[in-house]
Amino acid sequence: MSDEDARPPSAIRGRLPATARWKAGRDINNAAAMLLHEGRVNEGAVKLREAVALTRVDDIDGEGLDLRARALLNLASAHEFGGDLDGALRLTDEGLDAAAQTIALIGDERATRTVQINGMLSRAQTLTLMDRLDDALDGIADAEALLDDPAGDEVDQRDLLAFAVHNARTAALIMTGRLQEAEDEAKRGLAIAVTVGPELSGHAYANLGVIAQRTGDDAAAREYLQLAQHAQQLGGDATGRQLAVENLAREAMQAGRHREAEDGFRKAAELAGRIGLKTRLAASRTGLAAVQLRAGRAGAAAKTLRVLLTDLGQDAAVHERLEAQAFLGDAESARHRYPAADEAYRAALDLTRSASERARVNLRRAEMHAEWAAMSFTPRSRMQRLEKARDLAIPVLLVTEALRDGFAPGGTRERWSLQVAAPARELAFRLARTLGDAALLFELVENAAAAVTLQAVAESADAAPSAGTLLPFPIPEPPSAPDAPSGDLDELPAAAAGLTGGASATASVRFAPPPRVVAMPGAAPVLDAWIDAAEAEYGLTLRSATMVAAW
């Protein structure tokens, strides 16, 4: 196999051979990028700093700026792998500035536009890890617009970049809880990935597996994650192989195969530690603690998580700290250490950004307060804790019902409902019954009976359909045939193409907020104060201003 054939399909290839002045820097950068691909992050970072240093000269030309952009973006990936997200963002911005200067000087003769778009997507990936999800989605949209700009230069490796757009957007949408849109994006990415390279399809399958897990489809999750692992073994990079092992361990945990899951998380943590992937190391250790908790070893789980949180510090990826704090709350609750559990849940809430994440944490808090009430010694403390559980559970119920309608009708929506909305509904009804509040039970029943209204969400003001208009779900166009590979000359591997998303096939269709229900003529709307509290807490519009009588 030639050196060129050994390079991953995610390599960003140059159009022209390096001149004598910059050939040494190109060779150093290429070798370093291959080290990153193999998981030798620290070694790669050392070489990348050498390559960047070669470009720190006063008489730098366009080719040197192109080299600087590539080396800086690769170095940013090394920092991201190591958990230094601020450093990764700073280096990415510097690399993008170098790419812009290159294009201003010499145009796209060295395929710098491809590097620029890849860098924009890498930046969005870093922002996703920092939980700056709106900024990440905006950055992905900007990269997609540049890729599709008919007035611009023809972009090399269009299929690779199109996949990276879908993949990056999938990851951000998963983090925001917009799982229906994430699934649409992941499938579009997969359609492209199978034409580009097996390790890219591995990333798409991994994302689909995560979505299936979060929507309660365990059989599909296992199948997707096994496909991801197989694809990564065939041709994936070290980071992708680690993630495949971690995801399979998570699937085994959810299926109750605790020994297999524990072994898998330990292996995933070992791989992450060996490569230097601090974020994935944290996720694997959190998974290990979750297995310990499910196996009835709450003390061991709490110890694992407290050590992890100390190691993570305040600069770690937000999602990993959130998950660790939430599981710590579960562990302390299982140990009947309820004040410590509530403290952990509150710390997790401080890290949430989406309504779905906040609802999941508050549902666990509500369950904890209900359990705490059962352990209370006095009627007064028992009542206070039941009321606290109710005050948490009812807004969660209202929000999860609203979030349910972000899914297209079908199996995924119903599985998600069984996994998230149904437990919230069961808890709210149980608490109303325990408190002996017949009026609240009646109100909850009437609320559940209110129907949603399907309407289109306008893509733009110019194309806005009238309110209440029904539109069919659009059928996405099949992906176009892949561009012919350039296959020549200076092939420079991308920084992090596809490590971890177009618009969704269902994004233009939404359920409008249902009306507020008046239980009895002349009475206040059903659950009106609860709805207002939930809308303020979660930042969503749950009910319209319209009122309808239930009788």
pLDDT of 181 strictly over 80: yes
Rounded Cα distance between 463 and 381, Å, is 56
265 belongs to a structural domain: yes
pLDDT digits (tens, 9 = 90+) for 267-294: 999 998 888 888 888 889 999 999 999 9
| 547 band by pLDDT with thresholds 50, 70 and 90 | confident
Neighbours of 466 (CB within 10 A): 8
Within a domain: 258: yes
pLDDT value of position 315: 61
Q: Can you give the pLDDT at residue 493?
A: 32
Please report whether residue 343 resides in a domain.
yes
Q: Does position 3 have pLDDT exceeding 50, yes or no?
A: no
The candidate with the shortest Cα–Cα distance to 97, out of 135, 68, 125, is 68
Q: What is the pLDDT, as a whole number, of residue 118?
A: 94
What would the pLDDT profile of 306-318 be if each residue is shown by its tens digit?
Answer: 999 988 866 667 8
Q: What is the pLDDT of residues 369-420, one digit of tens each?
A: 999 999 988 999 999 999 999 999 999 998 988 887 777 777 777 777 777 7
The per-residue pLDDT for 354 is 82
Q: Does some domain include residue 78?
A: no
End-to-end CA, the chain? 76
pLDDT in the model for residue 391: 92
Instruction: Note whether 386 and 431 are within 8 A (CB).
Output: yes
pLDDT tens digits along 192-212: 988 887 678 888 998 999 898
Q: Is residue 300 part of a domain?
A: yes
Question: Is 163 within a domain?
Answer: no
Cβ-Cβ contacts under 8 Å for 338 (sequence gap 6 or more): 332, 368, 369, 371, 372, 375
| Residue with the larger pLDDT of the pair 131 and 187 | 187
Structural domain of 303: 237-353
pLDDT for residue 483:
40
175-206 in b/e burial notation, b at 16+ Cβ within 10 A? Answer: bbbbbbbbbbbbbbbbbbbbbbbbbbbbbbbb
Give the range among 206-215, 225-234, 299-308 with minimum mean pLDDT: 225-234
In degrees and rounded to multiples of 5, residue 318 shows phi and psi of -60, -45
Q: Which tokens go with 463?
A: 């194309």
Q: Given pLDDT bands bounded at 50, 70 and 90, which one contains residue 32?
A: very high
Does residue 224 form part of some domain?
Answer: no
Q: Is residue 311 part of a domain?
A: yes
Q: How many domains is the chain partitioned into structurally?
A: 1
Summarised one tens digit per residue, pLDDT across range 319-342 is 888 999 999 999 999 999 999 999
Q: Looking at residue 316, what is its pLDDT? A: 61
- More confident of the two residues 551 and 110: 110
Mean residue pLDDT of the chain comes to: 81
pLDDT digits (tens, 9 = 90+) for 419-436: 777 888 899 999 999 998
For the stretch 439-476, pLDDT in tens is 888 888 877 766 454 444 433 333 333 222 222 222 23
CATH number, domain containing residue 303: 1.25.40.10
